[in-house]
């Protein structure tokens, strides 16, 4: 469940049953996990979901026909393995039902779309093939950089500007805006990430996806002017939980062409509490 903690014990010669260990609550650059799930907005089950939470098949995202589960889905930071497994079955059954209902029959993919997609996917391999001929020393090339170099840059941005351990989980309006500016530059530079083999190609795409997720984390933290989760991060300019203004869900949309976010509030319904009240 916490592999990184086991590595910490090993590196510090700690037997956890004998020696107390330092607890690090969360890091904004560790994507997924219990405190930083991707948070996609999905349709709830028809039998209990309010109208605002239900628009079709169970666990279907705002992208029609695409279903999600586990850390992909927002609304609960404590699903763990068994909950994610169960939700995965729900999402899979909904996807099958979507197909059985003939909702996907008009989806057509052309050969040109496939070829264009291949060019995008394999571009890091091409970057490396060309850039390795321009290496100036060791593995340094002015034409490309490696996934690990990009990951270190991403983690430094998120750590220093979006409330990481080096700043005691503290951030504010100005730091977040600067962090978003640096993340934008990073995403532009990621067009030049290189991969020498298929494993590094996977790492390159993990990095690209993490960069977008990091942008999402920063945008949401900037939009929500409060400290909703003390211990995970703090807004130094808004240190308190503000239920009067922010007891709500935060929805965002990212324009795939411009990378710009639009943000809005959505009502938060306590479904379990409401069902208990109806029963009583």
Q: What is the pLDDT of residues 133-190, one digit of tens each?
A: 888 878 788 999 999 999 999 999 999 999 988 898 899 999 999 999 999 999 999 9
Cα–Cα distance between 74 and 62 in angstroms, integer?
13
Q: What rounded mean pLDDT belongs to the chain?
A: 86
Average pLDDT on 71-90 reads 75
Classify 111-271 by CATH class: mainly alpha
Q: What is the pLDDT of residues 20-32, one digit of tens each?
A: 877 665 554 443 3
Residue 44 has pLDDT above 80, yes or no: yes
* Sign of the four-CA dihedral 255, 259, 263, 269: positive
- pLDDT for 34 equals 43
- Strand boundaries in the chain, DSSP class E: 170-171, 234-235, 249-254, 261-266
Residue 253 has pLDDT above 60, yes or no: yes
Cα–Cα distance between 34 and 222 in angstroms, integer?
20
Structure tokens at 238: 């808004």
Q: What is the pLDDT of residues 194-207, one digit of tens each?
A: 999 999 999 999 99
Alpha-carbon 46 to chain mean position: 26
Residue 262 has pLDDT above 60, yes or no: yes
Cα–Cα distance between 79 and 235 in angstroms, integer?
26
Q: What is the pLDDT of residues 97-146, one digit of tens each?
A: 999 999 888 888 999 999 999 999 999 999 999 998 888 878 788 999 99
- pLDDT for 24 equals 61
Residue closest to 259 by CA, chosen among 186, 150, 165: 186
- pLDDT for 155 equals 92
For residues 234 and 221, the answer to whether their CB atoms sit within 8 Å is no
Q: Is 158 helix (H, G, I), strand (E, B) or coil?
A: helix
For residues 250 and 266, the answer to whether their CB atoms sit within 8 Å is yes
Average pLDDT on 86-93 reads 92
Taking the CB of residue 64, how many other CB atoms lie within 10 A of it?
13
Average pLDDT on 51-63 reads 90
pLDDT band at 279 (very low <50, low <70, confident <90, very high): low
Structure tokens at 139: 């593995």
- pLDDT for 29 equals 45
User: Domain boundaries in the chain?
Assistant: 31-100, 111-271
- pLDDT for 106 equals 82
Give Cα separations from 89 to 1, 58, 96, 145, 184 (angstroms): 21, 11, 11, 40, 36
Alpha-carbon 70 to chain mean position: 12
Helices 147-161 and 198-223: crossing angle, nearest 10°? Answer: 10
């Amino acid at each position: 469940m916490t592999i990184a903690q086991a590595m910490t014990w090993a590196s510090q010669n700690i037997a956890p049953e004998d020696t107390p260990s330092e607890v690090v609550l969360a890091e904004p650059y560790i994507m997924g996990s219990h405190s930083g799930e991707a948070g996609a907005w999905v349709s709830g089950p028809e039998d209990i979901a309010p109208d605002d939470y239900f628009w079709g098949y169970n666990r279907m995202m705002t992208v029609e026909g695409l279903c999600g589960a586990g850390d992909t889905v927002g609304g609960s930071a404590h699903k763990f393995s068994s909950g994610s497994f169960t939700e995965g079955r729900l999402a899979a059954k909904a996807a099958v039902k979507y197909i059985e209902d003939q909702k996907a029959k008009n989806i057509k993919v052309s050969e040109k779309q496939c070829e264009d997609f291949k060019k995008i996917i394999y571009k890091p391999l091409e970057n490396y093939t060309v850039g390795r001929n321009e290496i100036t020393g060791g593995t340094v090339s002015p034409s490309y950089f490696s996934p690990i170099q990009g990951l270190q840059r991403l983690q430094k941005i998120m750590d220093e500007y979006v409330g990481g351990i080096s700043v005691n989980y503290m951030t504010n309006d100005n730091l977040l805006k600067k962090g978003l500016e640096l993340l934008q530059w990073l995403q532009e530079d990621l067009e030049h990430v290189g991969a020498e083999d298929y494993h590094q190609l996977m790492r390159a795409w993990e990095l690209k996806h993490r960069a977008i997720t990091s942008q999402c984390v920063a945008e949401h933290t900037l939009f929500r002017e409060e400290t909703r989760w003390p211990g995970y991060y703090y807004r130094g300019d808004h240190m308190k939980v503000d239920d009067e203004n922010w007891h709500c869900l935060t929805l965002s949309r990212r324009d795939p062409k411009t990378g710009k976010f639009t943000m809005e509030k959505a009502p938060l319904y306590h479904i379990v509490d409401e069902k208990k009240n109806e029963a009583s």
